[in-house]
Structure 1
Amino acid sequence: MVNAIQSKFPTAYTILFGLIVFMAALTWIVPAGQFDRVQNEALGKDVPVPGTYQLVDANHQGISDILMAPIQGFYDPDSGMANAIDVALFVLVIGGFLGVVNSTGAINTGIARAMTRMKGKEIWMIPIMMALFAAGGTTYGMAEETLAFYILIIPIMIAAGYDSVTGVAIIMLGAGIGVLGSTINPFATTIASNAAGIPFTEGMTLRLVILVVGWLICTAYVMWYAHRVRKDPSKSIVAAQNESNKEFFLKQVAADDARLTKSQSVILVVFSLTFAVMVWGVSSQGWWMGKMASLFLGSALVIGVIGRVGEKGFSDAFVEGARDLLGVALIIGIARGIVVVMDAGHITDTILNWSAESVKGYSAVVFINVMYGIEVLLSFFVPSTSGLAVLSMPIMAPLADFSGVGRELVVTAYQSACGIVNLITPTSAVVVGGLAIGRVSYDKWIRFVWPLLIILSILIMAALSLGAMA
């Protein structure tokens, strides 16, 4: 029965590869074009120059390009720049790290003990954790690094009587609403404001309102869903696979009265410190995937020694854990292949130019809401918040001057659009990777989140309209 249900909707691999084919087809239809670009010293990147769009020779993407796109999604040998390989390797190392930790029994025993102590109060873990992830999102754009937390939080939620969707939602919506309501996020607000030619502090009040109200809405929504599932497990979006998820995420669950050994207690301390160090490194030391992966590899070695798992036990556990997340790593590369095809076919700038032309001549309120809609569309094609800021703000922000709208509102529209789209876009490694780890199919996630997207869109458009009328 489960297989019959799952077979009705394509897998993430099929959806993503289908999008690659679709984008390749567009390169035969959409005119190829490019903006001139100049070096922006403040950003340290090349940015498009308004008014310089021109048609260029088409570079139609064929069958060989389609087949190469997922490969280049991991690493494009022509550009010499890493694309998704660093994120994919990070995911594999996390899998190995968790495999070693699980082999010691510390996690499952710790979860059992925590659930015993928190009986009757489990629901309050949701707002606390969502607040922490939102803080990470709004301050430093917490995104790819959230992939490390799914295997930690989902088992806790399942052990508490909820489901894997609850665990995914805590992380994805928590960090997502933080990015949507970015305040000092250097990868969204700061880059976009610099590209728009304004201080990043302009528009801060409105963004704080969106952040706080949006967090309250998201938290209430997840708590409502979690309470509903715990009361009646058949109401779960993934009810058909609840037993399978329990078996997968709660392997060899310890009994409620199980005792932590001294070595297991030390392992849990090292385990927690690893995540704390990761957050510190990313937020204050500029760490990226390579250093984070080395941190988890080092911690796995330390935990292996403390747990006395032995050389063969360590190797087997690490490889087995990495194997569990191999599918996630593959999905990340395929998702990046969509952008590879668009850029190679020279249609990204054409879509941007069409967007810029479509917002001219509107009143302030209409302009800012149409701008929000356009940024939503662009976010599907360019899931990177910093990438979209560098691409769109130099072109779109000056258009606000002709509609009597402050450029800070355009920045707010951009980051809100990025935030809401990056909760669902299949072109984002964060979305497809998180869902794959949580064993939540894409169609089930859409079914869960679509009412919330409507509510958040109403909030954003109302806030932008009030800002335009002020």
Structure 2
Amino acid sequence: VVMYTVRGAKIEGSRPYHFQTACFIAFPILAGIVHGFSLDEIGNSFAKGAASMAFVSMAIGLAGVVSIVMNQGNIIHTIVYYLTQPLLAIGQQFASVFMTIIIAIINPIIPSASSKAAILVPIISPIADAIGLTPQLAVQAFQFGDGFTNLISPLLGWTVGSVTMAGLSFDKWLKWVLPIVIIFLLLSFIFMYILTGMGWTGI
């Protein structure tokens, strides 16, 4: 019921996140009434559930704050500028691989794909044009770099929240998932090298 209600609101064009919040408050109360709980029991159960999520919410919020500070302080812009300069001095195939590496490095710091695109695209797009990379190759480098390192980002809300809810320390999670991420990244570098050599245009 919750899923279809929220989905329906999204289709109708209302604000889904605000609507979800209202649903997450209203539906537990309704479920408690249907189950036959008293108002005190509903309130106590709701408070207990909310308390278990308090630290998770704080961790997600803190991750978002750090990302905002680095964006608004132009810290990321400086890092990106100096990382992208070597692209102009190497061949196309290695440039496409290095472009993927840059995005993979930046991704854990700016987990938001839209923010990352706003920062990287104005820099990477002219560099890709200058070294003769097709737009599709630049987009593919962005997609490879933007995907796998989400699993190791300490600033991504759902990663931090999921690890916290699972009762794991981030160090323990990192030790387990990092080798897998490295394997996927190495495969993506190989694919980028091959696709660039083929002159891939996405067709």
Q: Do they superpose with TM above 0.5? A: yes
Residue matched to 2:68: 340
Report the equivalent of 1:307: 35
Aligned pair in 2 of structure 1 residues 454, 429: CA closer, same or farther (>3 Å)? Answer: same
**Aligned position for 2:135:** 407
Match of 2:125 among 397, 400, 415: 397
Structure 2: where are the runs of 5+ without partners? 199-203
* 4+ residue runs over 6 A deviation: none
Aligned equivalent of 2:18: 290
Structure 2 distance, partners of 1:391, 1:468, is 23
In structure 2, what is the Cα distance between the partners aligned to 1:282 and 1:459? 37
Which has more radius of gyration? 1
- Given residue 366 of structure 1, which amino acid in structure 2 is its aligned partner? F
Which residue number corresponds to residue 47 of structure 1?
A: none
For residue 415 of structure 1, report the CA deviation from its aligned partner: 2.1
Structure 1: stretches of 5+ with no match in the other structure: 1-272
**Match of residue 115, structure 2, among 387, 405, 424:** 387
Could you say if the C-alpha distance between residues 328 and 297 of structure 1 is closer, same or farther in structure 2, counting changes exceeding 3 Å?
same
Q: Which amino acid letter does the alignment assign opposite residue 305 of structure 1?
A: I
Whole-angstrom CA distance in 2 between matches of 1:388 and 1:281: 28
Q: CA deviation at 1:381?
A: 2.1
Do the aligned partners of 1:393 and 1:411 also contact (CA within 8 Å) in 2? no
How far off is 1:375 after superposition? 0.6
Distance, in Å, in 2 between the alignment partners of 1:461 and 1:326 is 40
TM-fit CA distance, 1:279 = 5.1
Decide whether aligned partners of structure 1 residues 281 and 408 sit closer, same or farther in structure 2, where only a CA change above 3 A counts.
farther
Matched residue SS, 1:374: helix
SS in structure 1 of the partner of residue 168 of structure 2: coil
Query: 1: distance between equivalents of 2:10 and 2:92?
Result: 38
SS at match of 2:152: coil
Instruction: Decide which of 85, 92, 96 is 1:364's aligned counterpart.
Output: 92
1:330 alignment counterpart? 58
CA distance in 1, matches of 2:113, 2:17: 17
Q: In structure 2, what is the Cα distance between the partners aligned to 1:361 and 1:286?
A: 49
The structural deviation recorded for 1:409 is 1.4
C-alpha displacement at 1:402, in angstroms? 2.0
* Matched AA of 1:329: S
In the TM superposition, what are the counterparts of 1:160-199 in structure 2 within 5 Å?
A: none
Following the alignment from structure 2 to structure 1, what is the Cα–Cα distance between the partners of residues 128 and 119?
16
- 1:428-458: CA deviations, max 9, x gaps? 1111111111112112211221221122112
- How many residues align structurally? 198
Alignment of 1:24-35 (within 5 A): none
Residue 465 of structure 1 aligns to a residue whose secondary structure is helix
- 1-side partners of 2:178 and 2:52: how far apart? 29
TM-score by length of 1: 0.40
**Which of 157, 172, 183 is matched with 1:429 structurally?**
157
1:282 shift after superposition: 5.2
- Within 1, Cα distance between the matches of 2:82 and 2:63? 24
Higher share in helix: 2
- 1:457 equivalent in structure 2: 185
Higher relative contact order (CA 8 A, sep 6+): 1
Query: Could you report, residue by residue, the CA deviation over 1:95-116 in whole angstroms, capped at 9, with x for unpaired residues?
Result: xxxxxxxxxxxxxxxxxxxxxx
CA positional deviation for 1:286 = 6.7
C-alpha displacement of 1:352: 2.0
1:276, CA displacement in angstroms? 4.5
Identity across the alignment (%): 24
For 1:434 and 1:284, locate their aligned partners in 2 and report how far apart those are by CA, in whole Å. Answer: 30
